[in-house]
Each structure stands twice: as structure tokens, then as C-alpha cells.
Amino acid sequence: MQISKVQIEQVNKQIRALVNAGSFYGKKLAEAGFDSIETPEDFEKLPFSEKADLREAYPLGLMTAPEDQIVRIHSSSGTTGLPVIIPYTAKDVDDWGIMFKRCYEMAGITNRDRIQITPGYGLWTAGIGFQYGAEKLGAMVIPMGPGNTEKQLQMMMDMGSTVLCSTSSYALLLAEEIEKRGIKDKIKLKKGVIGSERWGEKMRKRIADSLGIELYDIYGLTEIYGPGIGINCPYETGMHYWDDYLYIEIIDPVTGKPVPDGEMGEVVITTLVKEGAPLIRYRTHDLSRIIPGECPCGSRFPRLDTIMGRSDDMMKIKGVNVFPSQIEEILAGFPEVSSEYQIRISHLDGKDTMRLYVETNGSVNFLELADRIAATVKGKIGFTPLVKVVEIGLLPRSEKKTKRVIDERYE
Ligand code: ZN
């Protein structure tokens, strides 16, 4: 999707603000000789920004608006090293709320809904983003935050929550608990707004079926406001994103060149009106594609496909590039296995080995199933994993993100 004239003007404003503030990226742009662009080709020459750079700007090097206008910071959950600190002005907070409200509306959620929010509140952007968007919508918020499943279920019943906001792994955990306790008839949930991790069709179906709800994928990252920059509509044809706030391009992660609409690559986001910490061409490392054409829902907002993985999740096994989503797709073809799996990669006797753990109920022959899965992986991806079939419920569930790939080669 080519950048429009209006968007180019907006980018120029962002560049000017960055340069004038002498912020981390302002200096980088000035050094690279950019003070404005005119054409889409110029835009493609602008340098990328990366999470690693953002860390270098710690603590407040990204701050681009004067400090008296900064009302809040958020921080991304860095698993290694320094976190990234993103300053927000009052307008940024408001814009984010407007985008989030649109997400709820796209999902058909209204001010008559009761929204139970289970992502965490605090430095990271999840809980508070869900909250502010819901308040802007005028819905009733039940601000639970994470964990304490007992209390979550009690409140869900007593408050008659109609919308669940959570990660996919926590939604699965709640769905399984509700089944186990036989309390489904006391639950009034109609919709789930699920964010912050990639999940497969199988898991989606399991959650939707066991809770009897519609599910919506919400997209976002702390560096770019937070969750709420895009969501799927009821037609489930990818996530509509707000191109009056963001410009999204898809690039080849190796060459850095933009790919045509419809082709898979890395999602790169440019903020168009951000004040506290504008970002130009930010490499998300999320893999997806722009969906060409119009959505049957009639929305004018363009669409990004479901996130298929992380460019840095790519595993190299016996010289073959593998994404967890490919394994997931293969497992989706086996109705005998659950939505949960775990991949362990190790280096044994000079060779890379992948062990793939999957779950099933006791009604099938474990060894025979393992052989069939191994043969399918060999046929579709090109190497043979060691498949271990275990009883359903044995693989870890998590309240946050479930870690599915464990690379023991680097531990
Ligand atoms: Zn649509």
C-alpha cells in the first residue's frame, strides 16, 4: 500500500519535530541528511528504527515533545537488557483511546457491554489501553488485571461480564476452568478481545467453541501506542488498522525492500501524528502481509493479516528455516491433538534435533500418531523431528504468554 500525499505531509511533520527536538532519532535523521521527503521513493530511503536503538535512547532519549507536555511513560517488557521507555503527551493518550474505541466498535461492542480486563496494568501498555478505550466507548469496565483465576470467574459470573479481554493463553486457561467447573450456564460472555501473542486456528476454535463466543484479534505494540492499532471485523478477513494514525509497510526482512501487497514479510510502522515519541519506519519483527482489496464489511480501513510469527522466531534446523507457525499449521491437520505444543531444539552429537511435544486424549495410539506427525513434518518442511505425544493437560498453560519454543542450543 503506497504512502499517500497526506501521509507524506504527516511524516514530514514528524521528521521536523524529531529534528527540532534533537531527540535520539532527530539526531539520526539530521546526520543522515533528512529534513523532509517528497515522494514515496524518498520515504523508502528513510532509515529504519529498531528496538535495539530504542534501548540505546534509555531513559528519555526518545522524548520529542517538551517535558511539560509529557503526561505519562510506558515501557516495553524487555526480556533482555534495558527496557524501552516511550513518553506520551495528553494528545497521544487521547489518540490511543480513540483508536482503541474504534477497535471495540469494529467488534460490535457497545456502551451496553461489561468488559472484563485481564491483561496487566502498570508500566506496560496492555491493561490501561483496554481500559481507556472502554471508558471512551462508555462501557462498564471490570478492571481485574492478571491472575487469580478464582476471583476472575467469580466476578465474571457476578458482574455478568459480556466481553473478555485477555491473552489467548489466559483465555484458554479460563475456558478450560469454566468447562471443568461446569459453570458455563452462569457465564454471559459474548465476545473476546484477544491481544499480544500469536495464536493458531486450533486454539482460537477451542476457545470460541468452549466459551461459545466470537473472538477478535487486537494488534499493537508498546513502541507504537500499545494494543488497539488494529483489529479484525466480524468477517475475519484480517485486521483493519488505522491509517490516519499509522502508515504500515511490509518489507523483506533480509533485504529491507518493500514487498507488494499480499506478500508476506516484516511489518514496519511509521507513526503519523505522535508527539511524545514519533517513530519512523519502526521494524516490528512481526510477520504478516497487507490484504489487498476491499473488505465485505465496507470499512475503508486497510487490512493486515493475522500475525504469522516473529522474524526472530525463525529457527534454523539442519540448515532449514522453520517458523513455529508452520508447525502449528501441520498440527492443525491432526484433529487428535490439542492446540498446545512445545518445541525444544537441541544440539546432540554434532546435529540439531527438534523435539516436538503434542497433547492428545487417551483414545489413540501415541506411537503411531507420533510417527504420522513426524512424517508430515518431514514431507512439508524437510527434516524429521522427534515427536512425543503426551496426555492432554500436561504441557504448560500460562496466564501471560506461553513459551512454545525452547532453544537449548543457546542456553
Ligand atoms: Zn472488515
**Whether 387 and 289 share a structural domain:** no
Domain range spanning residue 98? Answer: 89-310
Q: Answer yes or no: is 8 within a domain.
A: no
Same domain, 263 and 357: no
- Give the number of domains in the chain: 2
The Å distance, Cα 234 to ligand 1 centre, comes to: 7
What's the 177 CA to ligand 1 centre distance in angstroms?
32
Are residues 212 and 320 located together in one domain of the fold? no
CB-based contacts of 265, cutoff 8 Å, min separation 6: 250, 251, 252, 253, 259, 287, 288, 289
Residues of the chain above pLDDT 90, percent: 75
Residues 206-217 pLDDT 10s:
999 999 999 999
Q: Residue 343's pLDDT is what?
A: 93
CATH of the domain at 175: 3.40.50.12780
Among 78-87, 124-133, 186-195, name the one with the lowest average pLDDT. Answer: 78-87
Please report the pLDDT score of residue 401 as a whole number: 66
Say if residue 367 is in the same domain as residue 220: no
The pLDDT confidence band at residue 85, using thresholds 50, 70 and 90, is very high
Nearest to 345 by CA among 371, 321, 317, 323: 317
Centre of ligand 1 to C-alpha 219, Å, is 15
Q: Does residue 167 fall inside a structural domain?
A: yes
Report yes or no on 26 lying in a domain: no
Q: List residues, by chain if needed, whose CB lies under 5 Å from ion ligand 1.
A: 233, 235, 295, 297, 299
Q: What is the pLDDT of residues 262-315, one digit of tens each?
A: 988 899 999 999 999 999 999 999 999 999 999 999 999 999 998 888 887 777
411: pLDDT strictly greater than 60: no
393 and 278 co-located in one domain: no
277 and 321 in a single domain? The answer is no
pLDDT in tens, 42-63: 999 999 999 888 999 999 999 9
For residue 325, the model assigns a pLDDT of 81
Q: Are residues 254 and 121 in the same domain?
A: yes
* 124 and 268 housed in the same domain: yes
The enclosing domain of 321 has a CATH number of: 3.30.300.30
Domain boundary among 310, 343, 377: 310
Least confident range from 16-30, 127-141, 274-288, 301-315: namely 301-315
Ligand 1 midpoint to CA 190 (Å): 19
Of the candidates 325, 294, 322, which has an alpha carbon nearest to the alpha carbon of residue 307? 325
For residue 333, report the distance from its CA to the centre of ligand 1, in Å.
Answer: 27
Domain endpoint, select from 310, 331, 360: 310
**Cα 302 to ligand 1 centroid, rounded to whole Å:** 9
Which cell numbers in the block locate residue 105? 466498535
**Same domain as 278, residue 406:** no
Tens of pLDDT, residue by residue over 93-119, are: 999 999 999 999 999 999 999 999 999
Instruction: Give yes or no: residues 187 and 302 share one domain.
Output: yes
Distance 300 CA to ligand 1 centre (A): 8
Amino acid 409 reads: R
pLDDT digits (tens, 9 = 90+) for 183-239: 999 999 999 999 866 677 888 899 999 999 999 999 999 999 999 999 999 999 999
In a domain, 75, yes or no: no
* CA gap 112, 138 in Å, rounded: 8
Cα–ligand 1 centroid distance for 232 (angstroms) = 7
Tell me, yes or no, whether 53 lies in a domain. Answer: no
- Spell out the residues 6+ positions from residue 155 whose beta carbon is closer than 8 angstroms to its own: 116, 142, 144, 161
In this structure, the answer to whether residues 237 and 258 fall within a common structural domain is yes
Grid cell digits, residue 349: 552429537
Q: Are residues 136 and 268 in the same domain?
A: yes
**Domain final position from 310, 342, 371:** 310
Cα of 206 vs centre of ligand 1, distance in Å, is 23
Query: Is 60 within a domain?
Result: no
Q: Look at 387 and 349; give whichever has higher pLDDT.
A: 387
Q: How far is CA 385 from each of CA 199, 346, 363, rounded to the nearest angstrom? A: 21, 11, 23
Please report whether residue 64 resides in a domain: no
Strand spans (E) along 57-123: 70-76, 84-89, 114-117
Whether 48 is covered by a domain: the verdict is: no
CA 132–ligand 1 middle distance (angstroms): 23
pLDDT of 19 > 80? The answer is yes
**Closest listed residue to residue 242, CA positions, set 270, 281, 209:** 270
